[in-house]
C-alpha cells in the first residue's frame, strides 16, 4: 500500500474531513484519544509515507508501514488502530503506527524533500543527494531524509529508467546522471500516482517483481542489495555500474 503517491491519494480522499470536528476518536493505538476528541481538523497533510492529521497545537502521525490500510466510510472486521468519526463520515486505520505529537508539523518536516509536495525543491534535493557520495544509489533512493516518499518499487523502476546499476556509488555518478535520477524520482512518482488511481499500477512495472528485461528479454538480476537489504531487480545489460575507474 504505502509509498508516497499512495499516501497522497489518502490525503486527497480525506480532505473532506478538513475543517470538521472529531466527534469520536477510538482504536487500540496507545495515544490519548481525549486529546483530539472534539477538536477540529485544521489540515490533513502528507509527508513522504506519513499522514499528518493536524489539529490546533497537536497532530496525529500515521505510518502505514508495510501492511497498514485504511477505509473511509467502511469498516473491516478487525479492530482499528485508529478510528475518527466526523459529522460527514469516518475513517479507520488498521495495522499501522500511530503517534500523537505536540506542536506544529511545519516545525518538524521539510517539504522540500517530499517527492509529492508542491514545495519539492529539485536543487535542494540534488544537493542532498550529492552530499552522500559514499552511499550506494539503491540505499540513497530509500533515504527518507532525501527522497521522502520513495519506496522500493519507485527505487527499482527509477534505476531501470535511468539505466543505473543499483550498486553504483552516488559519488561515482556523473553529475548529469545524478540529476537525472533526482528528476526521474519525481516524475515517476507522479506516474505511479496516476496508475495507482486508475488501479493499473502493477501492469506498468518494468522490472519490479518481473522476471525479464523488457528490452533484452533476458532474465533480470535480483538481490537484497545495500545496507538496507531491500529487493532489487535490474538488468545487467541496460543498467551501468558506475565505478571510479
- Alpha-carbon distance 72 to 9, whole Å? 12
Please choose, from the candidates 128, 115, 132, 126, the residue with its C-alpha nearest in 3D space to the C-alpha of residue 176.
126
Residue 169: beta bridge partners?
136
**Does the protein bind DNA through residue 117 (CB under 7 A)?**
no
**Does the protein bind DNA through residue 142 (CB under 7 A)?**
yes
**Does the protein bind DNA through residue 230 (CB under 7 A)?**
yes
| Distance in Å, CB of 15 to DNA, minimum | 21
Q: Which stretch binds DNA (CB under 7 A): 35-43, 106-114, 150-158, 166-174?
A: 150-158
Binds DNA (CB under 7 A): choice among 39, 69, 179, 221: 69
- Interface pattern 152-191 for DNA (x via CB under 7 A): xx--------------------------------------
| Distance in Å, CB of 54 to DNA, minimum | 18
Name the residue nearer to DNA (CB basis): 39 or 152.
Answer: 152
**Does the protein bind DNA through residue 66 (CB under 7 A)?**
yes
Instruction: Using CB atoms within 10 Å of the CB of residue 2, give its burial: 0 to 12 exposed, 13 to 18 middle, 19+ buried.
Output: buried
| Distance in Å, CB of 173 to DNA, minimum | 22
108: its cell numbers: 518538524
Q: Strands 50-55 and 58-63: what pairing?
A: antiparallel
| Distance in Å, CB of 5 to DNA, minimum | 8
Alpha helices (H) along 67-146: 122-130, 137-140
Please choose, from the candidates 84, 97, 106, 94, the residue with its C-alpha nearest in 3D space to the C-alpha of residue 38.
84
Q: Is the CB of residue 197 less than 8 Å from the CB of residue 9?
A: yes
**Does the protein bind DNA through residue 46 (CB under 7 A)?**
no
Q: Strands 82-86 and 97-102: what pairing?
A: unpaired
- Alpha-carbon distance 175 to 96, whole Å? 38
| Distance in Å, CB of 176 to DNA, minimum | 27
Binds DNA (CB under 7 A): choice among 15, 67, 101, 106: 67
Binds DNA (CB under 7 A): choice among 35, 63, 112, 130: 63
The per-residue DSSP string of 28-63 comes to SSSS-GGGTTT-B--EEEEETTEEEEEETTEEEEEE
**Does the protein bind DNA through residue 209 (CB under 7 A)?**
yes
Name the residue nearer to DNA (CB basis): 23 or 209.
Answer: 209
First to last CA, the chain: 40
Name the residue nearer to DNA (CB basis): 27 or 168.
Answer: 27
Q: Map grid coordinates 535480483 to a residue.
A: 222
148: its cell numbers: 521522502
Q: Is the CB of residue 155 less than 8 Å from the CB of residue 107?
A: no
**Does the protein bind DNA through residue 48 (CB under 7 A)?**
yes
Q: Which residues bind DNA (CB under 7 A)?
A: 1-3, 6, 48-49, 63, 65-67, 69, 76, 78, 94-95, 97, 142, 144, 151-153, 208-209, 227, 230-231
Amino acid at each position: 500500500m504505502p509509498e508516497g503517491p499512495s499516501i497522497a491519494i489518502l490525503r486527497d480522499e480525506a480532505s473532506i474531513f478538513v475543517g470538521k470536528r472529531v466527534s469520536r476518536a477510538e482504536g487500540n493505538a496507545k495515544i490519548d484519544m481525549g486529546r483530539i476528541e472534539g477538536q477540529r481538523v485544521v489540515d490533513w497533510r502528507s509527508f513522504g509515507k506519513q499522514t499528518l492529521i493536524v489539529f490546533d497545537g497537536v497532530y496525529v502521525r500515521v505510518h502505514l508501514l508495510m501492511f497498514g490500510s485504511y477505509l473511509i466510510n467502511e469498516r473491516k472486521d478487525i479492530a482499528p488502530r485508529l478510528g475518527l468519526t466526523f459529522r460527514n463520515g469516518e475513517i479507520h486505520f488498521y495495522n499501522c503506527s500511530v503517534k500523537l505529537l505536540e506542536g506544529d508539523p511545519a516545525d518538524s518536516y521539510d517539504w522540500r524533500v517530499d517527492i509529492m509536495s508542491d514545495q519539492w525543491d529539485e536543487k535542494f534535493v540534488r544537493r542532498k543527494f550529492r552530499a552522500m557520495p559514499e552511499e550506494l544509489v539503491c540505499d540513497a533512493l530509500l533515504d527518507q531524509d532525501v527522497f521522502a516518499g520513495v519506496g522500493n518499487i519507485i527505487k527499482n523502476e527509477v534505476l531501470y529508467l535511468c539505466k543505473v546499476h543499483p550498486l553504483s556509488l552516488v559519488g561515482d555518478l556523473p553529475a548529469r546522471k545524478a540529476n537525472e535520477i533526482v528528476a526521474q524520482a519525481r516524475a515517476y512518482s507522479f506516474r505511479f500516482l496516476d496508475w495507482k488511481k486508475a488501479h493499473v499500477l502493477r501492469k506498468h512495472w518494468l522490472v519490479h517483481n518481473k522476471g525479464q528485461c523488457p528490452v533484452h528479454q533476458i532474465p533480470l538480476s535480483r538481490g537484497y542489495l545495500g545496507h538496507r537489504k531491500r529487493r532489487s531487480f535490474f538488468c545487467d545489460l541496460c543498467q551501468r555500474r558506475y565505478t571510479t575507474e
